[in-house]
Structure 1
Amino acid sequence: MSNEFSTSGSSWMQDNMSLIGPRKLIDICITGSHDSGMSKITGHTLGGTECNTITQTHDVGGQLNLGARYFDIRPVITGGGYSTGHYTHVGDTSWQGANGETIQEIINGVNAFTSENAELVILNLSHSLNTDLGNNSYASFTQDEWNGLFKMLADETNGLKFLFSMPSDSDLTKQTLETFIGNGKSAVIVIVEGDNVDLSDYSGKGFYPYSSLNAYNKYSDTNDVNAMMSDQLKKMKEQREKGSYFLISWTLTQDAVQAVGCNSPIFPADSVLDLASTADSKLLSHLKPAITQSDYPNIIYIDDIVNRDFVTVAMYANGLI
């Protein structure tokens, strides 16, 4: 494996351009990060703690260097500014969770990486929340609030560099990798997942509706690793047969007891990072052997990126496809 393909985290796409460059995105496998901004807590509710909100050890810049290329960015408004967050609506009465990296920190991390590495970076924006409205009144962004975020991301001075422009109604999965980065320059695309978000002011400027990628993304919602693997591998086969752009959610989810109990010094339960360690340890032993020339994920999506195993699996898939 290592003698055939490069699995260097910082440049694995460019290092393997002769193999994957001429292929469309739907015909290659890339690497993804779940709840990407939650490597630290910068503010939280009463029930939001490290053990039930932290999903990553490294910040987005660190995840990029370890090989992640698709990022789950969940923007929130807090204190009038834009950050990332990990929140759950509890009992229809309140929101519980925490804030992570600020959007500006993520912009800075992406820019630092793409200035040195000509790779494709995909930022998927979803689960927007205005947390300044009162704990039982959090709401998805209004169009004006989305526009404020877009303006920040697209700012010529402090925004994202290397935004890749093509018509906003383009099917990105039908574009070859070399279309984006074959010229030796980085490319950043922003996917916006939200109801009735108007992107017309940013059309052709690197911002795209979710339909332009349309990744099938259905997590297993279980803390049982065997149940998760069975569910996701079944979905992989089904969705590849349908020709879908498929994201395999190789993640475990705390149940209610774990989410509360992981705070207990007497009866501690598994944290999100504990569950991530369990799932990630199965990448080489269970996901890799399940991949065939026809059955493969387009995005391998994990919590707690601490090594390059998911790059190894992605390039194994690319060698078979």
Structure 2
Amino acid sequence: MDLRKLFLRATCGFLVAANLAFAGPGGHLEMANLSPYDWKLTYNHSYHMDWEPWDLIPIGSKLEQYVEWWYHWGDNGDGGAEATYSLVGTDLSFSIQARQSGGKKLLVEYSDALAAMTLTGEKVIDLGFDHDGSVLFVLSGNGVEPYVSSQAPRDWMQKTLSTIGSKELREMSMPMAHNSGMNTITKGYGGCKHNTACQTVPIYNQLAFGARWFDLRPTVVKGNWYANHMSDAGILGWVGARGTSFTDIVNDINRFISETPGELIILQISHELDGDAGAKWIPGLPEARWQILYTLLEQLNDLWTPADSNLPDDLETLKISQFIQPGSNSTILVRIPDHAPLPNSSHPAFIHESRLPVTGDWISTADPSVLSDTQFTTLQKLRLSPKSPMFRLPWTIAPKIAHMIDVANPLHSIIGEAMWAEHKLYQIIWDKLTRDTYPNLIEVDNIHNSQVTAITMVINQRYADAEGWMKWMEGEKREVTTLRWAERLRIDDGSSTRDDEKEEEDVWPHAETEPAGELDIAVLDKKMPNTKRIVKFGSTEQHKGAILGEIHIR
């Protein structure tokens, strides 16, 4: 072969291999505009990145942007990007920034005025970045009450007591940490971190990120208590691993509530396993071991001591204000299986699961689409009103057996697979919610930021407090004046009218001028010719001018 050709082929091969080796990571930015203003792109710049921000993000839209650094030279580099959006009709703005200093990350920087209108008041929030995964930026509010954003406050219950305090427990939403004590492996029994760890940070951090309901699975080994993730593998016996010690769990919770008082925390005890029963693992615990476990858990500070001794059997009908008050200490409940004995101390914080009923169940699937279809269908069947029993939305992936044993590939671990579930949740959750149908618990693996907490806070703001939200929107009169090219569709009687090239004030439905029924406004934008957003308004006497339906892009 010609030496020149051989050299050229070798050089090309080297360059291709080098490009693949140093190709930068990519991921998705999910954006949900739940503010009363369109977001208009006013500035855009990028260097060594795939970065194509949307020109317009209309009210109520949920859009996805792919982000990729061209090169991966480590934690630091010169690749970066920035897109600035104005909230149309206001002097408010924010910028989304891609940075590569001390690790790759996506940041949101608010203008001073907008930062002051958020719950945290922070000017810059760090969304993080997940290679091949997604991060969420949501801004929800009406500009009168503080905006909810992806940066949830550590004391988010205290910060939102004006919204949730008057609601029953079964009416509100909160994040739930799946197998929360399995953030570390203290000993494996045929299992390892790859196929048994469900979290990546301790319970203290999970609390700081906003989780308030914890799935705890105790086992006792040589007199010591640990979290467990064990499964009965038939002829192989019980396999899996044990995780964090319950002593560390108690210390984590006590540390958090001393630093961040006034939060409601629920510990769910299940899947208990006796590892001191000779050479075998035995499901369940004898009564004496339950009492030992209770003694350990009674070292928790702020265990619930109700002010009223005349309590209903169904504790989910209690208002949040009956558990926590502004400036109060935290309250901790321990939900135990119905087959478990109550503690000898008769401490009221330990309650049987039948007194705090929860519907919804885990499904075994490795497919996020199957997970989504099944769980939301179940939600719609079981959660028919805010007064329905609490619904747990288990949003976890069960990796395939081949993936469970593929310990060399972190993307096939429980934590790795959780990334696909998270991406699906951020994409579709907003279109599955109504004022009657929403989850009370969103149960996830790998709580590593406060973005799931932000989703539950939006649910509490827009759905659990639907009447208050409608009053806000009715009072504000939706003063948005930049929408054009609107098509009006009357849906109550099938008639329709069309007004092209008109200003917003000519087409916006004001309650005093619209007949009874509902009205759809389908707004078409020439910059986004394939998109449409629907706004459902009510004009009954009870809900004149109020938004009844979610706004979304089609």
After TM superposition, the score normalised by the length of structure 2 is: 0.54
Q: Which residue of 2 aligns with 1:177?
A: 320
| Equivalent of 1:153 in 278, 297, 306 | 297
2:403 aligned residue: 258
1:272 to 414, 422, 425: 414
Q: State the alpha-carbon separation in 1 of the partners of residues 199 and 410 from structure 2.
A: 20
How is 1:40-189 mapped onto 2 (pairs within 5 angstroms)? Answer: 40-45=184-189, 47-117=190-260, 118-134=262-278, 136-154=280-298, 159-166=299-306, 170-182=313-325, 184-189=328-333
1:139 is aligned with what amino acid?
A: P
Residue-by-residue CA offset, 1:187-222 (whole Å, 9 max, x unaligned): 00000025x211162434310001121111311211
Shift of 1:172: 2.0
Partner residue in 1 for 2:177:
33
SS in 1 for 2:329: coil
2:389 alignment partner, one of 219, 234, 244: 244
Q: Structure 1 pair 92/134, CA: closer, same or farther in 2 (3 Å)?
A: farther
User: Which residue number in structure 2 is paired with residue 231 of structure 1?
Assistant: 374
1:169 Cα shift?
A: 6.8
Q: 1:200 to 1:101 in 2, by over 3 A?
A: closer
Q: Relative to 1, partners in 2 of residues 1:179 and 1:92: Cα closer, same or farther, differing over 3 Å?
A: farther
Residue 93 of structure 1: CA displacement?
Answer: 4.1
- Say whether 1:207 aligns with 2:350: yes
Q: Answer yes or no: is the 8 Å Cα contact 1:76–1:83 preserved in 2.
A: yes
Q: Which runs of 5+ in 1 are unaligned?
A: none
SS in structure 1 of the partner of residue 332 of structure 2:
strand
SS of equivalent residue, structure 1 residue 38: coil
Contact 1:107–1:153, Cα closer than 8 Å, also in 2: yes
1:267-320 Cα offsets, whole Å, 9 max, x none, are 887110011111112232112321111110011110000111111110111122
Distance 1:162 1:52 in 2: 34
Which string of whole-angstrom CA distances, capped at 9 and with x for unpartnered residues, describes residues 137-159 of structure 1? Answer: 433111111110001111xxxx1
Q: Quick one: which amino acid aligns to residue 138 of structure 1?
A: I
Residue 437 of structure 2 corresponds to which residue in structure 1? 295
Rounded Cα–Cα distance in structure 2 between residues aligned with 1:189 and 1:161: 11
> Equivalent residue for 2:156?
12
Distance 2:410 2:347 in 1: 50
Aligned residues of 1:9 and 1:311 also touching (Cα < 8 A): no
TM-score normalised by the chain length of structure 1: 0.91
Task: Determine helix, strand or coil for the equivalent of 1:132.
Answer: strand
- Mark the CA change 1:49 to 1:135 in structure 2 (over 3 Å): closer, same or farther: farther
Q: Alpha-carbon deviation of 1:262?
A: 2.2
Cα distance, 1:173–1:94 mapped onto 2, change above 3 Å = same
8 Å CA contact 1:169, 1:208 repeated in 2: no
Task: Report the Cα distance in structure 1 between the residues aligned to 2:278 and 2:192, rounded to whole angstroms.
Answer: 19
Instruction: Write out per-residue CA displacement over residues 56-112 of structure 1, whole angstroms, 9 at most, x where no aligned residue.
Output: 011100100000000000000012111111001102541111111110101001001
Q: What is the CA–CA distance in structure 1 between the aligned matches of 2:429 and 2:417, rounded to whole Å?
A: 17
d(CA) in 2 for partners of 1:256, 1:62: 30
Cross-structure match for 1:281: 423
Equivalent residues of 1:288, 1:316 under 8 A apart: no
* Aligned twin of 2:509: none
2:334 is paired with a residue whose SS is strand
**CA distance in structure 2 between the partners assigned to 1:268 and 1:175 by the alignment:** 43
What amino acid is aligned across from residue 38 of structure 1 in structure 2?
M
CA contact 1:5–1:16 (8 Å) conserved in 2 = no
In 2: Cα distance, 1:149 partner to 1:268 partner: 34
Taking only aligned residues, the RMSD between alpha carbons, in angstroms, comes to: 1.9
- CA distance in 2 between partners of 1:111 and 1:137 (Å): 30
Relative contact order higher in (CA < 8 Å, ≥ 6 apart)? 1
Aligned equivalent of 1:307: 449
CA deviations over 1:228-272 (Å, ceiling 9, x no partner): 01111111111112722100001111233322x223x4x887110
CA distance in structure 2 between the aligned counterparts of 1:248 and 1:41, rounded to whole angstroms: 26
**2-structure distance, mates of 1:97, 1:169:** 39
- In the alignment, what sits opposite 2:526? none
Distance verdict in 2 for CA 1:268–1:248, change over 3 Å: closer
Native 8 Å contact 2:343 2:350 kept in 1: no
Give the % identical residues: 29
Aligned residue for 1:32, secondary structure, equals strand
Structure in which a larger fraction of residues adopt strand? 2
CA distance in 2, matches of 1:43, 1:208: 31
Structure 2 unmatched ranges of 5 or more: 1-138, 141-145, 464-554
Contact 1:128 1:140 in 2 (8 A): yes
Q: Judge conservation of contact 1:262–1:269 (CA < 8 Å) in 2.
A: no
The total of aligned residue pairs comes to 312
Once the two structures are TM-superposed, the CA of residue 132 in structure 1 deviates from its matched residue by: 2.7
Contact 1:84 1:100 in 2 (8 A): yes
Deviations 1:150-183, CA, capped at 9 Å, x for gaps: 01111xxxx1000002468742211111111115
SS in 1 for 2:447: coil
Question: In 2, Cα distance between the equivalents of 1:295 and 1:31?
Answer: 16
- Is the CA contact (8 Å cut-off) linking 1:85 and 1:99 kept in structure 2? yes
Aligned partner letter, 2:374: D
Structure 1: which amino acid aligns with 2:302?
Answer: F
Q: Is the 8 A contact 2:394 2:442 kept in 1?
A: yes
